[in-house]
Each structure stands twice: as C-alpha cells, then as structure tokens.
Amino acid sequence: MRIILGIGGGIAAYKAAMLLRLFTEQGHDVVPMPTRSALRFVGEPTWEALSGHPVNTSVFEDVESVNHVRQAERADLVVVAPATADLMARVVGGRADDLLSATILTATCPVVFAPAMHTQMWENPATRRNVAQLREDGYTVIDPAVGRLTGHDSGAGRLPDPREIYRRALAAASSAGAALPDLTGCRLVVTAGGTREALDPVRYLGNRSSGKQGIAIAQAAADLGASVELILAHTEVSAPEGSEKLRIRRVSSALELENAVGEALGDGRSVDGVIMTAAVADFRPRSVAVSKIKKDPSADDAPTLELVRNPDILRGLVEAKSRGEHGAFLVGFAAETGSEDHTVAELGESKLVSKGADMLVVNEVGTDLVFGQDQTAATILVREAEEIRSEAVVGTKIDLARRLMTRVASHLNIGSRTARG
Ligand code: C5P
C-alpha cells in the first residue's frame, strides 16, 4: 500500500517515526507529510531517511507536479499521527493552508486520525465537536490513550502505542467501502482470555485460550463507537491499551470474572450486550492450599484433586434476563471438537438452545486450530423467532469480530454507515 503519514506539530511526533518503521517493515511505501510545526519536533532528515521520500510541507514546493493532488490520488491510506487539535479543526473547516490539509481535502481513500494533546484540549467542547464532525464525515478518529502526558500530568490525550495505530489504520483500510454498524451510544461488556483456578500459591488449572478473539471483538466494537468494558482473564497476547471507549478490567478466576460481569451490568438497564468470549473453567479445586503442595520424596503416590463446579456465568445471565433483571443481548462462544455422533454445527445448535443465549459463535478447535491463531473458522448461530439461523465466517479473528458486531447491531436495531474510501 502507499500510505501518506501526516505528522502534526506535537511532542508525540517522535512516535510517528516508529509508526513509519512499522509500515515500511511490512513492505508499505510511506510518504511522510509533516506540518511545518512538526518539523520543529522531528526534523526532515529523520523522515527522509526512514521513508526514502523527500519531505514537502507547502503546496508551493514541487508546484509543477501539483503535489497535493498527485499525492492524494496515489495514496491508499492517509494516517495522521499525532493529529493536533489545530489540524483537526482545519480539516473540519475544509481548510487547505498547507500540503497536509490540502492533501486530506483531496484524498478519497480512508483517512485515520490519531489525536494527541493535553486532556483539557481533548475535552474542550470545540475539540469534541470537531472529532464528532470528522467521524460524521466518514473519517476514522482513534481515541487517545489514557496515561502519562508531556510533563508530570496524566489523563486522556496520550498518543496510542504505534502498534495500536498501525492495527487500526490497516483495519480502516481493509473495511473501506464496507457498510459497518455505527455503535455510538451502545454499551457492551466483552469477556476474553482464559481463567485460572488456583491449586496452591504457584499452581493453577488453566486453558489454552489466547484471548485474541475476545480482544479483537472489544477493539472492533470500540472502533465502531461502542463504549466497551473488556473483562480480561489470562492471555497469551499483551492486553490492548485502554481508552475512553475501551475500559479494561483484569481478572483471574471464574469467580472473579463472574463478579466483574455482575458489576459491569450494574442495575442491568444500561448495558446493551454481553459477549462471553472468555474460556471459563467449568471446575475449580475444592480448596486452595495455602502453601505449595509438596511431593513426598519417599513415596510414589500423588495427591488426588477434588474439583467443584464453577457457576455457568452465561447461563446465570440468561436466567437473570428471564427474570427481567437486565435486557442485554447475550452472546456465547463454544469451542467444539465434534464427536463420533455429532458434528460441530449440531453440537453448537444444541448448546445455543441449552444455554438459552441469543447468539452463539461456534469454533471448531483442535490442537492447532483456532486457539492462539490469527485465522479462524466459525459459525454464528442466532435465534430468530423459532428458527436458528447460521452464518459461516472464515477469515481473521478481526474479520469475525466485525461480522459479529454487524450481526449484534442488526439485532439491537442499530443502523450502519459506509466506511470512507
Ligand atoms: O458450556 P461451554 O463451556 O461450552 O460454554 C461456553 C460459553 O459459556 C462461553 O461463552 C463461555 O464464556 C461461557 N461460560 C460461562 N461460564 C462457565 C463456562 C462457560 O459463562 N462456567
């Protein structure tokens, strides 16, 4: 892909150099387009050396090629990181007073803004209005991360990790032109990862869930505008960065996860959906030893583990819903291997019925299928009146996450908008 990397004049400009590297390492051709004030933070030689392209900031350079039009026409994606409040305001106003704003005004490809600024600037009504307008106009605006800012203060406004911007930018490019739901105003709870049930202070019973699918769902929902609480058990991959749209709560055991889901539901009135992607242990040791369980060196015997059932959290949510305690749309996940008598799809359908969830995503799992992989093959089963409808999805876990969100949105009667590009 040919990517224009717009760099606004903020201290986070140095992180854009790392973003540039991420793109070029994956074979993308990156044209850096810093504003004049960005060059006060990181100079031309850095951008030119890292990209192999000359740097221009004004439409009055390279005039004979009508540079802003030429660049915009050839680009597959424009990423602006950091996007300053001023730059976004200029784009909202349709200004074209430097090469970057003129290029954005001309571009028809997806444009992604990654804002970074102090919390007060981010929360100022003018910035909020501008961000809302950019989104309304079809641009992708990534919410800034919450954390340490320039100086000693911290809050919302930090430029997200370059890997996160990279992921979001490529996601925007791949969904260009697709009709995706607008989940603004929607509140979702997503669980992800595998629980661990302690045996003693050092050992636990766990499972092979990597957490990738649940994290992809939480991120896809937040990307589409939902407010997401991600309840994250143990994962193989690093946890995503939290933001205003994506709040993360870490848990370990099934009981902790149940408690966190209950707290996230609160009075049950404001959550629209719960997506139970986590692999929750069905059993836990009856008791947890206070000190490490020792082997007896003089004997060959081994301790016998006594297990007790964990609550089925999803079933509990279904029952609470039938008692009118909440109205959330309930999505379960099932990992099935199939058996001699039943196919994975059959097992999925009977699980949807027995669990009573509104929707079930069934994955076929085996030693090297699904768990820990980026690719997945799944069937989305949904109850519609007396019928069960199914849709097969084969692709990346991000593809499945988007497809699932589209299905969930249609059940929540949420409309879609077409992604720019
Ligand atoms: O019955 P099974 O474990 O296959 O169901 C999987 C679904 O149920 C997943 O959505 C999982 O998050 C949820 N689950 C649960 N509580 C359990 C076990 C599974 O909520 N104790």
Asked if 198 and 147 sit in the same domain, the reply is no
Asked if 129 and 256 sit in the same domain, the reply is no
Q: Pick the last residue of a domain from 146, 178, 210.
A: 178
Best mutation site among 196, 207, 276 for ligand 1 pocket (most ligand atoms within 8 Å of CB):
276
Using 70 as the pLDDT threshold, list the residues of the chain that sit under it: 366-372, 415-421
Is 287 inside any structural domain? yes
What's residue 297's pLDDT? 86
CATH number at residue 82: 3.40.50.1950
Q: State the total domains in the chain.
A: 2
* Ligand 1 atom nearest to 311, measured from its CA: 21
Catalytically active residues, by annotation:
207
What's residue 246's pLDDT? 94
Measured in angstroms, how far is the CA atom of residue 381 from the centroid of ligand 1?
Answer: 15
Nearest protein Cα to ligand 1, atom 6:
334
What's residue 421's pLDDT? 61
Asked if 135 and 192 sit in the same domain, the reply is no
Asked if 126 and 70 sit in the same domain, the reply is yes
* Ligand 1 atom nearest to 332, measured from its CA: 10
Asked if 82 and 217 sit in the same domain, the reply is no
Is 172 inside any structural domain? yes
Asked if 150 and 198 sit in the same domain, the reply is no
Nearest protein Cα to ligand 1, atom 17:
312
Pocket of ligand 1 (CB under 6 A): 254, 276, 278, 280, 282, 310, 312-314, 332-334
Q: Pick the last residue of a domain from 178, 205, 236.
A: 178
* Ligand 1 atom nearest to 310, measured from its CA: 21
Is 354 inside any structural domain? yes
Nearest protein Cα to ligand 1, atom 16:
312
CATH number at residue 374: 3.40.50.10300
Asked if 204 and 310 sit in the same domain, the reply is yes
Nearest protein Cα to ligand 1, atom 21:
312
**Of 103, 46, 54, 55, which Cα lies nearest the Cα of 79?**
103
User: Residue 366 phi/psi, 5° resolution?
Assistant: -150, -170
Q: What share of the chain is helix, strand, coil (3-state, %, to 5)?
A: 35, 25, 40
Is 394 inside any structural domain? yes
Best mutation site among 280, 309, 370 for ligand 1 pocket (most ligand atoms within 8 Å of CB):
280
- Rounded Cα distance between 125 and 79, Å, is 24
Measured in angstroms, how far is the CA atom of residue 332 from the centroid of ligand 1?
Answer: 7
* Ligand 1 atom nearest to 254, measured from its CA: 21
Measured in angstroms, how far is the CA atom of residue 303 from the centroid of ligand 1?
Answer: 28
Is 194 inside any structural domain? yes
* Ligand 1 atom nearest to 316, measured from its CA: 20
Asked if 171 and 207 sit in the same domain, the reply is no
Asked if 79 and 117 sit in the same domain, the reply is yes
Q: Give how far the C-alpha of residue 180 lies from the chain's centroid of Cα atoms, to the nearest Å.
A: 15
Best mutation site among 308, 312, 318, 363 for ligand 1 pocket (most ligand atoms within 8 Å of CB):
312
Is 407 inside any structural domain? yes
What's residue 58's pLDDT? 87
Measured in angstroms, how far is the CA atom of residue 205 from the centroid of ligand 1?
Answer: 16
The whole domain housing 210 covers: 181-416
Segment 336-384, tens digit of pLDDT: 877 888 888 788 899 999 999 999 999 877 645 556 677 888 889 998 8
- Rounded Cα distance between 419 and 176, Å, is 5
What's residue 367's pLDDT? 47
pTM of the model: 0.80
Measured in angstroms, how far is the CA atom of residue 315 from the centroid of ligand 1?
Answer: 8
Q: Pick the last residue of a domain from 115, 149, 178.
A: 178
Asked if 298 and 363 sit in the same domain, the reply is yes
Asked if 98 and 125 sit in the same domain, the reply is yes
Measured in angstroms, how far is the CA atom of residue 311 from the centroid of ligand 1?
Answer: 9
Asked if 337 and 412 sit in the same domain, the reply is yes
Amino acid letter for position 276: M
Is 421 inside any structural domain? no
Is 365 inside any structural domain? yes
